[in-house]
Every structure is written in structure tokens, then in C-alpha cells.
Structure 1
Amino acid sequence: MQALIFDVDGTLADTETAHLQAFNAAFAEVGLGWYWDEALYTRLLKVTGGKERLMHYWHVADLEEADGTKVKEIIDAVHAIKTRHYAERVRDGGLPLRPGIARLIDEANAAGIRVAIATTTTSANLDALLQTPFGTSWRNRFAAICDASTTRVKKPAPDVYFDVLRRLGLQGTQCIAFEDSENGLSAARAAGVPTVVTPTAYTLRDCFDGALTVLPHLGEPHAPVSYAGVDEPPGWVDLAALRRWHWQAVSEVV
């Protein structure tokens, strides 16, 4: 196990409610007359990527209008406004990282295990989320960062994982991925990366067949989590547990 690869939305932090609020704020600001509730947004999350989600919904809401010549221009503008609203909600610690994330990244950095990001979100969203917990130089903690600006084809396609693996110079079996959704798990597994899944309320009903394990979160000393596969677990996922899971996964492949 030479690297840990993290998804962002839903994995590093439970971001989807903030994204949903930002979408609705953008719709109101531009006068679209749209409103997404949690049930609808849960279904829309099957479409990966904010702009892609907007286009998909537009085709459902008004197919004739969605084929207009200025649709892409409008979607770009609405998405930019949504990104501004999202940044306002998460900036200055408005959205904490999920339990165990910062701890595990620190442990990996200290142990010389590289850490990477494989996400379909934008660079602006990454900056808004990670500057508070890790500081303005947060990118220095990661050996590779691939996002919507570097990889055009979104999950569940494995492209973003292949891009990260190329930058790391590693094979998928030399890494462990962390995802929260079926789309993310499918992308990681297609790239040959064993995957730990920590779903959110928006993805609990997804299918996670093939995951190394499915946990509510990675755990902390003050917020333990129960998980299978390790004798006398400390109550949180650490590098020792990941190494054992990784060895078991690679051994099964061999």
C-alpha cells in the first residue's frame, strides 16, 4: 500500500446539503423558478458533475428549451453562481471534515504514504473546503490532485483514477481509495483500486458490492466506529487496518 486516494464530495466532508442549498440559491438569484428538495437531489446525484446535473434536469424540466442555442452558456453562468454560494457556505470552517479524515491524512503524510485526490468537483470547491482545515498551502499535503479541470470524463468512468495513478506512477493495486457513492466505487474498482466506502444520507441506498468495507465514517478516539476485518480494533481506521485490508484484497486478486 503506497498511496491513499480520496474522493471529495461526501467523502472528505458531508458536502451535499451545502451543494443543494447553493443550487437552490443560484436558481433563485437568476429567476429560474426551479427548486430541488432532498429527495429529488438524491436522485440527481446519480448524474456526476454539477453542470451535467443541471443539463440533465433541464432536459427533464423542459426538453424543448434545453435544446436551445444558449443552454450551455446559461448553465455555465448558473454553475458559477452556485459555486460562489457553495464557497460562502463552507468557507471559514462552515463545513468540517468527516471523522477520521484529517487524522488519517496526517498519519499517511508522517509515514511517507502518498495521499491523492480523485474528484469530479471544481478546483474552486476544493479551495473553499480544504483551506480552513489544512491552510492556504493545503495542496502541499497531496502528491496528486485530479478534479473537474483535469479530467473531462466523470465518474463512474475510471478516468480520474487513471489520471491520479499516472501522476503517482503506481498501479491501482498499490493504493486504497475512499468513496461515498456507488458511482465513485465503480470508478475506483474499474481502475483496479481497492476501496473503502463511507456513505452519507444521500448515498446509503447505493449498492456497494465489491467494497473492502462499508463504514459510517473512519472513526476518531472520541468518536469510535465499529468495523469488521481487524482483531481488537481501536475504534477507528488507521494505517495498520488499511494495510491488512489491502493485503487481503491484493491476495484475493493474486
Structure 2
Amino acid sequence: MFDLDGVLVDSEPVWEEVRRAFVAEHGGTWQPDTQSRLMGMSTQEWAAYLHSLGVSLSPDEIARGVVDQMAARYRDEVPLMPGAVKTVRRLHESVTLGLASSSPRTLIDVVLEAAGLTACFAATVSTEEVERGKPAPDGYLEAARRLGVDPRKCVAVEDSSNGLRSAHAAGMRVIAVPHPRYPPAPDALALAGRVLPDLDALTTELLGSPS
């Protein structure tokens, strides 16, 4: 099971730039911990949170405005993480892949299509499609359900604190590939069975290893 933002796509800097500018443009105040709090939230959750920062639009309007700007940025260029395409295609040859992302469905589809990876994933889930976003386990549990597999037999690849907590809460074995700019909290990183420096280090042998 892959996460998308921060694992396959170097999107967190783009998300931060777009949302920070959107908050400032519409009368809100960005807080020092805002970016770390937003990572892993579902669309509904982060839109409501930005509204609470003083943005003078409804959460629905905030979500539409930010997602439209993100989609426009992605259509210009998808900032893939080093090794993302090669790793996904390599693993796809021998294991079944799923994806559980906090991104809205629109952005998931844009990214996977642009990267030529759509066919590599047997199931993809946006936390828009479940009740709760990360750190709740809902997205990962739904991805496992769509694949018809026991979550406890899945391995999740995550980067963020909320993502690591989500996958662990779903009962999955967790491999962390921390983003250098947005490292996870120590307590969240401790939930990972392995911590890798990059995607190139992710092998089928490692996926089958219990520790």
C-alpha cells in the first residue's frame, strides 16, 4: 500500500505554497504548526481547518479553490519523488499494489495518469471516500477491502506522522520513507518496522521481511 503525497509525489511543498497563499489571500492567518497539522487530513478536514484560521470562505469554497489550483499546477508538471515511477513499476511485476491517499480523487487520477502509473494499482482510495482521514485507519482499511485482502497481511509505505499512525492503526506493517523537509514526529516514526532513505531501497524482499 502506497501513500501518494510525500512518497510518490513531492507534493507537500506545493500544497504548502498553494494553501499558505490561499489563506493569506482570503484573510486567514497561517500558524507555525499549520503545515504539520494539515498533512494527512482529508479534503473536508483541511478545508474546515483553513476556515478556522479566518479564511473568509466556506469550507466547500476553500476546498474547490485550493484543489483547482493544485490540479493546474500538476497539469503543468507533476513533481515526482526520485525513483517513484521505477519503484512502482518494479514492484508491480511481483506484488499487488494499492494506494491510500489524503489527496482528493481528482488529484490522485491526474498524478497517476501523468506518471503513467494508473494500471499499476489494483485499488486506489481517497480519504474523501471514507468517513475519517489520517491518522484514522479508514483509508487503508478501505483499500485493503477493495483488494480483498486482510489488512494485517499488507505493508504500507508512508512518510508523514499521520500517515504512519493511520497505517499502523489499520494493522499493517509499516515502512517509513521520511520526506527530508517534513520529517515525521519521533513517536510516529517509531511505529515503522523499517525506515528507508529513499524509494530505491524498497525491494520485494524487504516487503516480505517481518522486521
Instruction: Give the TM-score taking structure 1 as reference length.
Output: 0.73
What amino acid maps onto 1:148 in structure 2? T
How far is 1:35 from its partner? 5.5
- Secondary structure, aligned partner of 2:128: coil
Aligned: 1:13 with 2:19: no
Distance in 2 (CA, whole Å) between partners of 1:165 and 1:242 is 16
* Distance verdict in 2 for CA 1:35–1:158, change over 3 Å: same
Matched, 1:90 2:70: no
Post-superposition Cα deviations, 1:13-46, rounded to whole Å, max 9, x if no partner, equal: 1211111222244346xx5123547x44334326
Amino acid at match of 1:49: S
Distance in 1 between residues matched to 2:191 and 2:130, nearest whole Å: 25
State the Cα distance separating 1:47 from its structure 2 match: 6.6
**Aligned with 2:22 (options 19, 26, 39):** 26
- Structure 1 regions of 5+ residues with no counterpart? 220-235, 250-254
Q: Which residue of 1 aligns with 2:42?
A: 49
CA gap of 1:204–1:52, structure 2 versus 1, over 3 A, is same
State yes or no: 1:118 paired with 2:100. Answer: yes
Tell whether 2:197 aligns with 1:216. Answer: yes
RMSD of Structure 2 on Structure 1 (CA): 2.4
Determine whether 1:202 maps to 2:195.
no
Cα distance, 1:54 vs structure 2: 3.4
Matches of 1:128 and 1:180, distance apart in 2: 21
Structure 1 pair 240–46 and aligned structure 2 pair: CA distance change class (3 A): closer
**What SS does structure 2 have at the residue aligned with 1:203?**
coil
In structure 2, the residue matched to 1:252 is none
Aligned residue pairs: how many?
209
* CA separation of 1:149 and 1:57: change in aligned 2, threshold 3 A: closer
Separation of aligned partners in 2, 1:126 and 1:205:
25
Matched, 1:141 2:124: no
The separation in 1 between residues aligned to 2:39 and 2:186, in whole angstroms, is 10
Shift of 1:86: 0.9
What is the Cα deviation at residue 11 of structure 1? Answer: 1.4
Distance 1:206 1:129, change over 3 A: farther
Hey, what does 2:203 align to over in structure 1? 238
The match for 1:232 is none
Mapping for residues 44-83 of structure 1, pairs under 5 Å: 44-45=37-38, 48-59=41-52, 61-62=53-54, 74-83=58-67
Does the CA-based 8 Å contact 2:161-2:184 persist in structure 1?
no
What's the secondary structure of 1:146's corresponding residue? strand
Greater Rg by CA: 1
Residue 222 of structure 1: aligned partner: none
- Report the Cα distance in structure 1 between the residues aligned to 2:40 and 2:115, rounded to whole angstroms: 28
Go from structure 1 to structure 2 and tell me whether the alpha carbon gap of 1:141 and 1:90 turns closer, same or farther (over 3 Å shift). same
TM-score by length of 2: 0.86
Aligned in 2, Cα 1:36/1:50: closer, same or farther, shift over 3 Å? Answer: farther
